[in-house]
């Protein structure tokens, strides 16, 4: 007995120090990596111009709650919870690119913190930290971070749903399962596709011994979460025609899934990631260090289903029924990609033995260097889809137009899925002093996303009453020989119906500006 006393006396001191160290890293690691992710996503988040989808966010979130609820029963219920949150946000911050996108930037930070926590649960601290850094620089994530939509938030929620899932499986406590049910309900309500992570968790349970012992609790918790979100699920399903614009079944599946979904069309990053995952997982399996499952949920057993199952289910539905697949809809699976890359990098670096840490730093730095060019492109002024330039148009009108001038919006154009008046939505002060001569009923009155835009044959008196008109149209709209190169008069799309009508009322072109995809034409009546 006496020979064991020194050991027993020293153990409390060692375990106490270990507990203090563990407590510091438990909080400091997620906080630090979360802040790093916020800094990466937040860098020049204000630079890209607003675009159509962000204008939809502003259009809905800026309404009174009753008007918003009425709209969501007709369209866009899939983003309803996000719109409600942004409604409160826009009541306390100015409407600028930085402030509108800041919630997404913060969501990326919350997601990175969750990747740290989850990585430690499934693997090692080193893997957790590397995976969080990969998550922060993954092109799909850096894109979602500067998008005023629910995609970044869906990724953050998916991470924490999975954290709670792993804890619940290991501890099998009622509290954890209740929290899992609530988070499933919240994540599904925020973005419907997130419900598919439950299917991924089913696969994780099936390949782990502990998981198979708690199937009953899982089914009860998951069922409760889905039941709570059921009204939103039913409502969103009733609006499925809203995504009928997505291309048919002949889309390039290989490119979209392997390059767009996680890498935002950055081919170099996709190739590098694929090579790292294949090499890393091979090394892990050969050396017997893989985390496929076993007694407890491991990294591969958790991340692989999360990565593959939601995509496979939606692709199957899209190929056999209506196409509802779009790369950015799967941002909530990006953390799984980051975890796989983080684990793969650590396994590859482990081949260097004692020099594994320097090699790991080199691998991570090279991955960041490959991602850097696309990251900088994402933060260019016209980085949004189709090169949309809403912010630049609004800035031009605000600086050049005089109070009392008229503004006229084209009904259709070749790049914008809505009328040109969506430009006004993201910067109302820029157009506040102008007379909108083409507006009919408001969006709230119509119960739609946008105000009504009247055709020019219905606003003849309004046109005659103007001394100056600012026409907002697409860049390809032509001009006549008095103001620039002639165009084929038989091509109504290029010439622009509104352009021809305004000219027919005797207005001359004072000046015109061709921006990235838009064109602003300043008409004046002769003698004014």
- DSSP single-letter state for residue 75: S
**Per-residue confidence (pLDDT) for residue 386, from 0 to 100:** 85
Angle, CA of 49, 50 and 54, to the nearest 5°: 155
**Per-residue confidence (pLDDT) for residue 172, from 0 to 100:** 86
CA dihedral 89, 94, 96, 102 (to 10 degrees): -40
Task: Please report which helix (H) or strand (E) contains residue 180, including its range.
Answer: helix 174-190
**Per-residue confidence (pLDDT) for residue 300, from 0 to 100:** 92
Q: Counting beta carbons within 10 angstroms of the beta carbon of residue 254, is it exposed (0 to 12), middle (13 to 18) or buried (19 or more)?
A: exposed
The residue with tokens 């994530």 is 141
Q: What is the CA radius of gyration of the chain?
A: 27
Nearest to 122 by CA among 344, 300, 298: 298
Q: Counting beta carbons within 10 angstroms of the beta carbon of residue 237, is it exposed (0 to 12), middle (13 to 18) or buried (19 or more)?
A: exposed
- Residues 177-194: tens digit of each pLDDT: 999 999 999 999 999 999
Query: Which phi and psi angles does 412 have, rounded to 5°?
Result: -135, 160
Q: Counting beta carbons within 10 angstroms of the beta carbon of residue 120, is it exposed (0 to 12), middle (13 to 18) or buried (19 or more)?
A: buried
Three-state SS for 217-276 is HHHHHHHHHHHHHHHHHHHHHHCHHHHCCCCCCCCCHHHHHHHHHHHCCCHHHHHHHHHH
Q: Count the helices and strands in the chain (H runs, E runs).
A: 25, 5
**Per-residue confidence (pLDDT) for residue 446, from 0 to 100:** 86
Tokens representing residue 342 in the block: 């983080």
- Report in angstroms the alpha-carbon separations of 186 from 5, 6, 69, 101, 340: 53, 52, 18, 21, 26
- DSSP single-letter state for residue 457: G
Per-residue DSSP letters for 322-388? -----GGGGGGGHHHHHHHHHHHHHHHHGGGGGGHHHHHHHHHHHHHHHHHHHHHHHTSTT-SGGG-
Q: Counting beta carbons within 10 angstroms of the beta carbon of residue 119, is it exposed (0 to 12), middle (13 to 18) or buried (19 or more)?
A: buried
Q: Whole-model pTM?
A: 0.90
Residues paired with residue 409 on neighbouring β-strands, in sequence order: 472
Report how far residue 347's alpha carbon sits from residue 360's, in angstroms, rounded to the nearest whole number: 9
252: alpha, beta or left? (left if phi > 0; alpha if psi -120 to 50): beta
Q: Kindly report the number of other CB atoms within 10 A of residue 307's CB atom.
A: 22
All residue ranges of the chain with pLDDT < 50 are 1-12, 479-494
Length of the chain: 528
Helix (H, G, I), strand (E, B) or coil at 518: strand
- Residues 128-152: tens digit of each pLDDT: 999 999 999 999 999 999 999 999 9
Task: Please report which helix (H) or strand (E) contains residue 293, including its range.
Answer: none
């Amino acid at each position: 007995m006496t020979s064991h006393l020194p050991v027993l006396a020293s153990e409390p001191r060692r375990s106490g120090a270990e507990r203090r160290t563990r407590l510091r890293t438990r909080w400091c690691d997620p906080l630090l990596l979360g802040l790093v992710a916020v800094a990466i996503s937040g860098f020049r988040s204000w630079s890209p111009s607003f675009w159509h989808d962000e204008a939809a966010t502003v259009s809905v979130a800026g309404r009174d709650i009753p008007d918003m609820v009425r709209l969501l029963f007709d369209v866009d219920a899939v983003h309803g919870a996000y719109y409600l949150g942004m409604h409160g946000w826009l009541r306390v911050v100015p409407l600028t690119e930085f402030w509108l996108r800041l919630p997404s930037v913060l969501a990326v930070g919350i997601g990175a913190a969750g990747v740290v926590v989850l990585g430690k649960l499934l693997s090692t601290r080193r893997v957790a930290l590397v995976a969080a850094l990969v998550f922060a620089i993954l092109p799909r994530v850096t894109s979602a971070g500067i998008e005023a939509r629910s995609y970044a938030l869906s990724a953050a929620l998916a991470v924490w749903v999975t954290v709670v899932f792993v804890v619940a499986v290991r501890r099998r406590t009622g509290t954890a399962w209740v929290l899992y049910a609530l988070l499933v309900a919240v994540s599904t309500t925020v973005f419907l596709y997130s419900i598919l992570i439950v299917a991924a968790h089913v696969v994780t349970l099936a390949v782990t011994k502990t998981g198979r012992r708690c199937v009953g609790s899982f089914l009860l918790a998951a069922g409760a979460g889905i039941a709570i979100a059921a009204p939103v699920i039913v409502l969103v399903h009733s609006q499925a025609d809203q995504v009928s614009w997505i291309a048919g079944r002949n889309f390039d599946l290989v490119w979209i899934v392997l390059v767009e979904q996680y890498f935002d069309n950055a081919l170099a990053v996709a190739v590098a990631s694929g090579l790292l995952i294949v090499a890393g997982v091979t090394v892990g399996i050969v050396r017997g260090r893989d985390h496929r499952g076993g007694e407890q949920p491991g990294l591969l057993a958790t991340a692989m289903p999360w990565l593959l199952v939601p995509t496979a289910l939606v692709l199957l539905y899209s190929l056999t029924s209506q196409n509802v697949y779009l790369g950015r809809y799967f941002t909530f699976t990006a953390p799984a990609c980051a975890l796989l890359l983080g684990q793969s990098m650590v396994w590859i670096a482990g081949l260097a033995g004692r020099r594994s840490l320097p090699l790991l730093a080199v691998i991570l730095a090279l991955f960041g260097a490959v991602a850097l060019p696309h990251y900088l492109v994402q933060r260019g002024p016209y980085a949004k889809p189709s090169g949309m330039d809403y912010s630049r148009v609004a800035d031009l009108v605000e600086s050049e137009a005089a109070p009392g001038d008229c503004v006229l919006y084209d009904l259709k154009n070749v790049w914008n899925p809505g009328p040109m008046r969506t430009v006004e939505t993201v910067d109302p002060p820029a157009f506040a002093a102008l007379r909108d001569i083409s507006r009919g009923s408001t969006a709230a009155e119509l119960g739609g996303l946008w105000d009504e835009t009247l055709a020019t044959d219905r606003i003849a008196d309004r046109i005659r009453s103007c001394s100056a008109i600012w026409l907002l149209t697409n860049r390809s709209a032509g001009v006549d020989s008095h103001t620039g190169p002639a165009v084929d008069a038989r091509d109504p799309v290029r010439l622009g119906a509104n352009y021809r009508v305004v000219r027919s009322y005797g207005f001359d072109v004072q000046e015109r500006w061709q921006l990235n995809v838009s064109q602003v034409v300043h008409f004046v009546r002769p003698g004014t």
